[in-house]
Structure 1
Amino acid sequence: MPSLAAALLDLRELDRLARLDTPVHRLDPRAKVLATAAFLATLASFGPREVSALLPLALFPVALAALGEVPFGLLARKTLLGLPFILVLGAFLPWVDRVPVLQLGPLAVSGGWLAFASLLVRGLLAMVTATALVAVTGFGDLCAALDRLGAPRAFSQQLLFLHRYLFLAGEETGRALQARELRAFGRPLAPREYGAFAGHLLTRSWERAERVHAALRARGFDGVLPARAQTAFGTGAWGFLLGWSAFFFLCRWLALPALLGGLLAGGGS
């Protein structure tokens, strides 16, 4: 139950951060979505064994978080939640490809380990960037930007409803767990009780969702949740999008770590 409460607090903290007034927050959400899409496309375009070439891309989420006043501790907590999934996905790569491709002193590194490290770096960068994007944009404005960019309205509205349903389901789960703990005097939930508990929780969540839907209909809900006032795609938005797109292009085609290493080596000699 404490972990559930902490997860809900983090989600509420992301919503609170999205209401800040910083230069990044004031940008048109479409610019941030398109820049993030360009970032993810660049991230996916590297070879499966690339590791060092991915590192300069970390500047994008770091800049988003720093300019948007997003605590790095929050980003780290949300990113660590997805780390086990990345580790599971790449767990077998070192065993699939055992051919040495790199020599680090006495240590021979196989292609599988490089692919695992590359997958880990890509996953962490993607999760940090997605969390920072939500924190500096807001989930509602993010879905509205997807809608304005031509994404199917059903898709953007389902994402928005899912975000709001997470709070509803989390609150109902917390109440159900608390009620059970008070009646069980600290006895842990037995395996045979999980099914009944899940069914009870689903029923409570469904009934509350129906009450929420009835309240929305009473207020004129027509199938589309309202978003905040739309912003204009001005000079700042174009500068943000084109500037970061140029940086991603340089990262992809100029091998910045190797170039920087050559410059440092040349300067040292």
Structure 2
Amino acid sequence: MSKIGNAIYEIHHMETIASRDQWVNLIHPLVKFILTIAYTVTVVSFQKYDIIGLAGMFFYPLAMFILSDLSFTDCGRRLRVVLPLVCIIGVFNPFFDKTPVVIGNIHCTTGILSMITLMMKGVFTVLASYLLIATTSIEKLCYAFRLLHIPKILVTQILLTYRYITVLLEEVNRITQAYSLRAPKQKGVHFKVWGSLSGQLLLRSMDRATVVYESMTLRGYNGEFQYMESKIRWRWQDTVFLLVWLGLIMLFRKIPVILAIGNLCGGLIG
């Protein structure tokens, strides 16, 4: 499978995962969006040297992966490009912040601590975003945006951009396959035909995009999501889910869970 075909497959596969009947997928999208924002803000709020306190925030993505029946392996494979880029953010901190510090019996510098903290923050926020996308379809997310009174034109732009990315990739895949069949011994697309192929891609993707939009309007879409109200309703389970997780996030922000568990285990062993 080509890279373009693999990208199309991954998009459709993520939509399939988000549309499952897992009970986490059925939680109101606004609840999951609020939790993702609250978790992200909480993770970012930790001080740059507070590794122990920040490590306890891994409980949220870990629990959500288990509850959602999602695979860490698949997540790592899909985020294999994003996660290294996130980790590069603080890679130069050890060269600028060389103040020595001792943690237990480990000697290091504050630059190393800030580097690890930045990496952890990036990884945790990316995992939280992945969990939101993997358990909530794009239509439900846009419905949650409208409930927050985000402008209709912006929400429509997000929805159609997501939809038209797949349309564009499918057209690129067809054009490149047709070209490779007509030039089987040539690697890639010759630069002399880049202009004509780009024009064909533009015209064909515009035609397909028109068909997609007309199909959406025939199904009742007019920029609002009234048709989702009959499918998605706020239940008491959503309220409990939201309050419990918000309480746990605030609790784990105040209490260094890793240190508390270590002290407890040490006390039991002693």
Q: State the partner residue of 1:267.
A: 268
Contact 1:75 1:132 in 2 (8 A): no
Structure 1, unaligned stretches of length 5 or more?
none
Question: What corresponds to 2:15 in structure 1?
Answer: 15
Q: 1:116 to 1:262 in 2, by over 3 A?
A: same
SS at match of 1:25: coil
Instruction: Confirm or deny: 8 A CA contact 2:51 2:116 kept in the other structure.
Output: yes
Are the equivalent residues in 1 in contact too, given 2:57–2:253 (CA < 8 A)?
A: no
Q: CA deviation at 1:94?
A: 2.7
Change (3 A) 1:261 1:191: farther
Shift of 1:181: 2.5
Aligned position for 2:50 = 50
CA pair 188-10 structure 1, distance change in 2 beyond 3 A: same
Read off the aligned partner of 2:49 and give its amino acid letter. R
Of the structure 1 ranges 123-132 and 194-203, higher mean CA displacement relative to structure 2 is found in 194-203
Q: Does the 8 A contact of 1:100 with 1:109 survive in 2?
A: yes
Number of matched pairs: 268
- Note the alpha carbon deviations across 1:198-256, whole angstroms, 9 max, x for none: 83444543343244345555666534467533533222111111111111111111111
The letter of the residue matching 1:187 is Q
Deviations 1:45-68 (A, max 9, x none): 111233332233222223223222
Counterpart in the other structure of 2:95:
95
| Local SS of the residue matching 1:101 | strand
Distance 1:71 1:87, change over 3 A: closer
For 2:71, give the aligned amino acid: P
Q: CA deviation at 1:124?
A: 1.7
Q: In structure 1, the residue corresponding to 2:101 is in which secondary structure?
A: strand
Q: Write the distance in 2 (CA, Å) between the matches of 1:245 and 1:83.
A: 26
CA RMSD of aligned residues (A): 2.8
Check conservation: 1:93, 1:113, Cα contact below 8 A. yes
Please give the TM-score of this superposition, normalised by the length of structure 1.
Answer: 0.85
Aligned twin of 2:232:
231
Decide which moves more: 172-181 or 26-35. 172-181
Conservation of the 8 A alpha-carbon contact between 1:157 and 1:225: no
Contact 1:61/1:125, CA 8 A, preserved across alignment: yes
CA contact (8 A) 2:143 2:225 kept: no
* Residues 206/37 of structure 1: CA separation in 2 closer, same or farther (3 Å cut): same
After superposition, the Cα gap between the structure-2 partners of 1:177 and 1:101, relative to the gap in structure 1 and judged at 3 Å, is farther
Cα deviation code 1:96-116 (max 9, x no counterpart) = 3233334575x6422222222
* Partner secondary structure for residue 80 of structure 1: coil
Structure 1 residues 90 and 183, CA gap change in structure 2 (3 angstroms): farther
Identity of aligned residues (%): 26
The TM-score normalised by the length of structure 2 is: 0.85
Structure 2, gaps ≥5 residues long? none
Counterpart in 2 of 1:81?
81
> Cα 1:101–1:231, aligned 2, differ >3 Å: closer, same or farther?
same
Change in Cα spacing, 1:238 to 1:221, as seen in structure 2 (3 Å) is: closer
Alignment correspondent of 1:127: 126
Matches within 5 A, 1:1-269: 2-102=2-102, 108-189=107-188, 196=195, 199-200=198-199, 201-216=201-216, 221-224=221-224, 228=228, 229-269=230-270
